[in-house]
A and B are shown apart, each in its own frame.
Chain A
């Protein structure tokens, strides 16, 4: 079914009502499965038990980037293809993506304290995620700055695209910056080879959190559509009351 069929908010609400509980259960199952199998795997010989944090930290990192990508695609939908639900999708992606980005930073810091001795280190990966978090905050701030959700949506879409285009530039310059100041730039959180006993749990966990992203994204879209309907009705009432 072409995407345009879901341009109708009512249709979307009905779809969401069915999918959200279903995917919620799927997500929960996958996450529990992934984490449980991850926890029983033998401890990593280098990092000890701390590697258990990887099972949530890495999915959070992937979803931070994925969320920004969904936001950028939604931005194209808003500005280029004029899909009616695109800006709603963009706002939802910004909100969920920002939360996962925040969690990526927090879990990264807690992973870092025992591993490197400090809660924060200007490691290129964590630094890039921090800059990504700032970009998320900028988009969210822009959403809040406008009263009219449609104008806000177009502004946020432009900013999302500008940010998305810049992500490779920022990543490149952060890596360069880090290598200059620390000599050999082996990313401290890099795990180039993962033992299969850890890889599969990680993939299950990542898949589970990805489905969770979809659930939260749809739920937020549903709420935003209701919010806009309420706003429209209120404006209509005020207009009629004046006649």
Chain B
């Protein structure tokens, strides 16, 4: 197990370094998230009561899309330069390697979204006392989305024109996270505490934390040739 943790942290650190480099994609997700939130009032009007009602929903949709759009990056670069084949040969289980890559992708792309969420929430009229909750739901939910996206990334790793395919595959499956994330936030806005919706959100997210790497590993083994 000791060698595993060494190898896995190497994977995580390397991916982080690549992502944080210029053009690596770490910051663009946040900018996309911000842009989405900004265009919402242009579409629905500067009507604060309305924005308040849809605020949590738009935050979640924005974070969801921002996470999905960077998906194909997870395995594509490694597939192209051949390092994926190296990883396949290593003694570390492919599922753990996939999980490590998912984790570093989340650190670089998902966590920044969570950090800016309170600020964007203010812009959408989310009650200040609920800002922490909405950030919490995204903190719990975005790893679930990312790891679910791992599977889609694995399936489309070898495809030259992956494009939106990964996002299309993941969106229907992410609906439960979206539902419980927004419901939890809305409950917090009206003053209720974290109840069963939050527990369901955690449970589903944890489930994806397992399912994602397993499916991704299967895809990388069987689909790439």
Contact = CB atoms under 8 A, between A and B. Distances in A.
- Complex: A in contact with B (CB within 8 Å): yes
Interface of A: 79, 131, 134-135, 137-138, 141-142, 145-146, 151, 154-155, 158-159, 161-163, 165-166, 169-170, 172-174, 176-177, 180
Contacts of A145: 156, 159, 161, 165
Interface stretch (B13-21, B24-32, B169-177): B169-177
A162 B215 contact: yes
Closest 3 CB pairs of A and B: A173-B176, A134-B172, A154-B222
Contacts of B96: none
Given A141-B168, A145-B156, A158 B219 contact: yes
B11 interface: no
Given A134-B171, A137-B168, A177-B183, 16 more contacts: A79-B218, A79-B222, A134-B172, A142-B169, A145-B156, A145-B165, A146-B159, A151-B224, A154-B222, A158-B151, A159-B155, A161-B215, A169-B204, A170-B176, A172-B176, A176-B200
A169 B176 contact: yes
B194 interface: no
A138 B155 CA distance: 12
Interface residue tally on B, bucketed by range: 20 to 34
Interface of B: 151, 155-156, 158-159, 161, 165, 168-169, 171-173, 175-176, 179-180, 183, 197, 200, 204, 207, 211, 215, 218-219, 222-225
10 contacts: A131-B172, A138-B169, A141-B169, A145-B165, A151-B223, A158-B155, A161-B215, A170-B175, A170-B176, A177-B179
A106 to B, nearest CB: 19
A158 B223 contact: yes
Contact of A176 (B158, B159, B179): B179
Nearest to A171: B176
Contacts of B223: 151, 154-155, 158
The secondary-structure label for the interface of chain B is: helix
Select the residue from A79, A138, A170 with max chain B CB neighbours within 10 A: A138
Given A131-B175, A165-B211, A173 B200 contact: yes
Contacts of A165: 211
A170 B172 contact: yes
Nearest to A146: B159
Contact of A173 (B180, B215, B218): B180
Contacts of A170: 172-173, 175-176
Given A145-B156, A155-B219, A173-B179, A162 B211 contact: yes
Given A145-B165, A162-B215, A170-B172, A155 B204 contact: no
A172 B219 CA distance: 27
A173 B175 contact: yes
A180 B190 CA distance: 14
Contacts of A155: 155, 219, 222-223
Given A166-B173, A173-B200, A141 B165 contact: yes
A77 to B, nearest CB: 14
B79 to A, nearest CB: 14
B173 A163 contact: yes
A155 B225 CA distance: 11
Nearest to A148: B225
